Amino acid sequence: MPRTALLVGATGLVGAALLDRLLAAPDYAQIIVLGRRAPARAHPKLRAMTSTLEDLDALADPLAADDLFCCLGTTTRAAGGKAGLERVDYHMVLAVARAAQAGGVTRFFGVSAAGASATSPAFYSRVKARMERAVGEVGFAAVHLFRPSLLLGARSESRPGEALAQKLAPLLAPLCIGPLRKYQPITAAEVADAMLQVARSDTRSGTVIHDLPL
C-alpha cells in the first residue's frame, strides 16, 4: 500500500532533492512538508503544514504519517553561534521526531554527518552524535541515520567555507579511499537517492547508521 511521508527541511540542499524524488515515487501517496513556509510548487500529492518547529503543540492536526524524513541542519555561522546550531540540529530535530512518533510515524530517516561522535573535538560532530542517540530513544520501530561528508550543490544561502571546500573537492575525492571513503564529498542528490533507496528496501528495526556513499 502507498505510504505517507512527512518531510522536514524541504528547502535545504538535501531536502529539496528528496522532495522531488518523493513526489515522483509511487511508494508514497502523500507527501506532507512541515516548515516555516510552504514549498513554492503545487502537486496533487503535496500537502504543506506551516510551523516554526518550535510550536508543534499548536498544530491543528497531528503529524500523522508512516515515515519521517528529516533533513534539518545548519552551521554554527548561519545559526549565529553554537547555541543556535544546537537549537536547530538537536532540539528541533528531536521535537519533530517526538511529535511525529506520537502521531503514528514508525520510521525515521534523518541526515546526520560523517564523523559524528560524542567524543569528537568538533562541537558540530558532538551535536550530531547527541541527536542520533536521542532520536534512537524516541520509540520508532526503525531509525535510519545517514552520514554524508561535504555536501555538493548550489545553496541559496551563503556559506563561504563550504563554497571553498566544494572547489577543493575534486582534489580531495581521490584521497578518500578504503576507510576514508565515507569522507568523500557527495552530492545532495546522491544523499536523497540513498534515503529513498533505504526506505524502499531496508526492513531492519532499531537504529541503523549509513555511511555514505552506500
**Catalytic residue positions, numbered:** 124, 128
Q: Are 46 and 6 in contact (CB under 8 A)?
A: no
Q: Residue 190, Cα to own-chain centre: how many angstroms?
A: 13
Partners of residue 28 on adjacent β-strands: 3
Residue given cell 541526515 in the structure block: 111
* Strand ranges (E), 23-168: 28-35, 46-50, 67-70, 107-111, 142-147, 151-152
Considering only CA atoms, which of 175, 179, 209 is closest in space to residue 194?
209
Helix (H, G, I), strand (E, B) or coil at 211: strand
Long-range residue pairs from 158-167, CB within 8 A, at least 24 positions apart, any chain:
159/75, 159/77, 159/78, 161/75, 161/77, 162/75
Q: C-alpha grid cell for residue 112?
A: 546526520
- Distance between CA atoms of 102 and 112, rounded to whole angstroms? 22
For residue 173, count other CB atoms closer than 10 A to its CB: 16
Q: Which amino acid is at 109?
A: F
